[in-house]
Amino acid sequence: MNKDLKIAVVVIAIIMLVAIFENTPSQSINLDDLMSSAPSSNIQKTSSASSGSSSSCYHNGIELKGKVQFVDSFPDLKIQYVSSFSDINVEFVSSFPSNCGQWQEVSSFPDFTVQVVDSFPDIKVKKVSSFPGMN
Protein backbone atom coordinates (compact mmCIF):
# COMPACT_ATOMS: atom_id res chain seq x y z
CA MET A 1 0.00 0.00 0.00
CA ASN A 2 1.45 3.35 -0.90
CA LYS A 3 1.60 6.27 1.52
CA ASP A 4 -1.22 8.32 -0.10
CA LEU A 5 -3.66 5.42 0.05
CA LYS A 6 -2.90 4.80 3.74
CA ILE A 7 -3.52 8.48 4.54
CA ALA A 8 -6.82 8.43 2.63
CA VAL A 9 -8.02 5.36 4.55
CA VAL A 10 -7.15 6.96 7.91
CA VAL A 11 -8.92 10.22 6.99
CA ILE A 12 -12.07 8.36 5.91
CA ALA A 13 -12.07 6.33 9.14
CA ILE A 14 -11.75 9.50 11.25
CA ILE A 15 -14.60 11.18 9.35
CA MET A 16 -16.84 8.15 9.92
CA LEU A 17 -16.07 8.11 13.66
CA VAL A 18 -16.79 11.83 13.99
CA ALA A 19 -20.12 11.38 12.16
CA ILE A 20 -21.12 8.53 14.48
CA PHE A 21 -20.27 10.41 17.67
CA GLU A 22 -21.92 13.66 16.51
CA ASN A 23 -25.27 11.84 16.42
CA THR A 24 -25.03 10.49 19.98
CA PRO A 25 -26.25 12.47 23.00
CA SER A 26 -23.52 13.92 25.19
CA GLN A 27 -24.98 12.42 28.38
CA SER A 28 -24.50 8.76 27.44
CA ILE A 29 -23.53 6.61 24.50
CA ASN A 30 -26.15 4.02 23.60
CA LEU A 31 -25.04 0.94 21.67
CA ASP A 32 -28.16 1.14 19.47
CA ASP A 33 -27.19 4.68 18.46
CA LEU A 34 -23.64 3.65 17.58
CA MET A 35 -24.97 0.83 15.43
CA SER A 36 -27.55 3.05 13.70
CA SER A 37 -25.00 4.11 11.09
CA ALA A 38 -25.28 0.66 9.47
CA PRO A 39 -28.38 0.28 7.27
CA SER A 40 -29.33 -3.19 8.56
CA SER A 41 -29.22 -2.13 12.22
CA ASN A 42 -31.37 0.90 11.40
CA ILE A 43 -34.15 -1.49 10.37
CA GLN A 44 -33.79 -3.45 13.61
CA LYS A 45 -33.81 -0.27 15.72
CA THR A 46 -36.93 1.05 14.02
CA SER A 47 -38.79 -2.21 14.42
CA SER A 48 -37.87 -2.53 18.10
CA ALA A 49 -38.98 1.05 18.80
CA SER A 50 -42.31 0.53 17.06
CA SER A 51 -42.95 -2.77 18.82
CA GLY A 52 -43.79 -0.93 22.04
CA SER A 53 -40.41 -1.14 23.75
CA SER A 54 -40.54 1.60 26.35
CA SER A 55 -36.85 1.24 27.19
CA SER A 56 -35.82 2.96 23.94
CA CYS A 57 -36.65 6.64 24.00
CA TYR A 58 -34.35 7.68 21.17
CA HIS A 59 -34.82 8.70 17.55
CA ASN A 60 -31.74 9.21 15.36
CA GLY A 61 -29.57 9.50 18.46
CA ILE A 62 -31.77 12.12 20.10
CA GLU A 63 -33.25 11.29 23.48
CA LEU A 64 -36.93 12.23 23.31
CA LYS A 65 -37.13 13.90 26.70
CA GLY A 66 -35.94 17.22 28.01
CA LYS A 67 -35.92 20.81 26.91
CA VAL A 68 -37.20 21.44 23.40
CA GLN A 69 -37.15 24.54 21.22
CA PHE A 70 -39.54 24.95 18.30
CA VAL A 71 -37.82 26.31 15.19
CA ASP A 72 -38.79 27.14 11.61
CA SER A 73 -35.67 25.74 9.96
CA PHE A 74 -32.79 23.32 10.52
CA PRO A 75 -34.46 21.23 13.25
CA ASP A 76 -33.03 18.14 14.90
CA LEU A 77 -36.43 16.46 14.39
CA LYS A 78 -39.49 17.13 12.26
CA ILE A 79 -42.72 16.28 14.08
CA GLN A 80 -46.36 16.03 13.06
CA TYR A 81 -49.15 16.30 15.62
CA VAL A 82 -51.68 13.46 15.30
CA SER A 83 -54.65 12.25 17.33
CA SER A 84 -54.03 8.54 16.75
CA PHE A 85 -51.27 6.15 15.63
CA SER A 86 -48.52 8.26 17.19
CA ASP A 87 -44.89 7.22 17.63
CA ILE A 88 -44.68 8.99 20.98
CA ASN A 89 -47.08 10.50 23.50
CA VAL A 90 -45.73 13.84 24.74
CA GLU A 91 -46.61 15.63 27.95
CA PHE A 92 -45.54 19.27 28.06
CA VAL A 93 -44.29 20.11 31.56
CA SER A 94 -43.22 23.39 33.15
CA SER A 95 -40.12 21.94 34.84
CA PHE A 96 -38.01 18.80 35.26
CA PRO A 97 -38.68 16.91 32.00
CA SER A 98 -36.95 13.76 33.25
CA ASN A 99 -39.06 10.93 31.83
CA CYS A 100 -39.46 9.67 28.28
CA GLY A 101 -41.97 11.87 26.44
CA GLN A 102 -41.83 14.76 28.87
CA TRP A 103 -40.89 17.96 27.05
CA GLN A 104 -40.33 21.44 28.43
CA GLU A 105 -40.61 24.20 25.84
CA VAL A 106 -37.72 26.68 26.07
CA SER A 107 -36.47 29.58 23.96
CA SER A 108 -32.75 29.01 24.60
CA PHE A 109 -30.34 26.20 25.48
CA PRO A 110 -32.54 23.30 24.30
CA ASP A 111 -31.61 19.63 24.44
CA PHE A 112 -33.00 19.33 20.90
CA THR A 113 -34.97 21.39 18.38
CA VAL A 114 -38.14 20.45 16.50
CA GLN A 115 -40.08 21.78 13.55
CA VAL A 116 -43.81 21.11 13.23
CA VAL A 117 -44.68 19.89 9.71
CA ASP A 118 -47.84 18.70 7.99
CA SER A 119 -46.21 15.92 5.98
CA PHE A 120 -43.11 13.71 5.98
CA PRO A 121 -42.32 13.92 9.71
CA ASP A 122 -39.52 12.07 11.45
CA ILE A 123 -41.92 11.15 14.26
CA LYS A 124 -45.64 11.50 14.90
CA VAL A 125 -46.54 13.12 18.24
CA LYS A 126 -49.73 12.98 20.30
CA LYS A 127 -50.13 15.56 23.08
CA VAL A 128 -51.24 13.96 26.34
CA SER A 129 -51.76 15.14 29.91
CA SER A 130 -50.63 11.85 31.47
CA PHE A 131 -48.72 8.67 30.64
CA PRO A 132 -46.13 10.06 28.18
CA GLY A 133 -43.72 7.76 26.36
CA MET A 134 -43.02 5.72 23.26
CA ASN A 135 -45.80 3.69 21.64
Share of the chain above pLDDT 90, in %: 59
Stronger pLDDT, 110 or 52, i.e. the higher one: 110
Model confidence at 135: pLDDT above 60: yes
Cβ neighbours for 35, distance < 8 A, ≥ 6 positions apart: 41, 45
Average pLDDT across the chain, whole number:
81
Looking at the 3D structure of the chain, how many domains does it have? 1
Stronger pLDDT, 71 or 6, i.e. the higher one: 71
Q: Tell me the residue range of the domain where 36 lies.
A: 3-134
Tell me if 123 sits within 8 A of 103, measured CB to CB.
no
Amino acid identity, position 125: V
Q: Which pLDDT score, from 0 to 100, does residue 32 have?
A: 53
| The overall pTM is greater than 0.85 | no
Tell me if 120 sits within 8 A of 76, measured CB to CB.
no
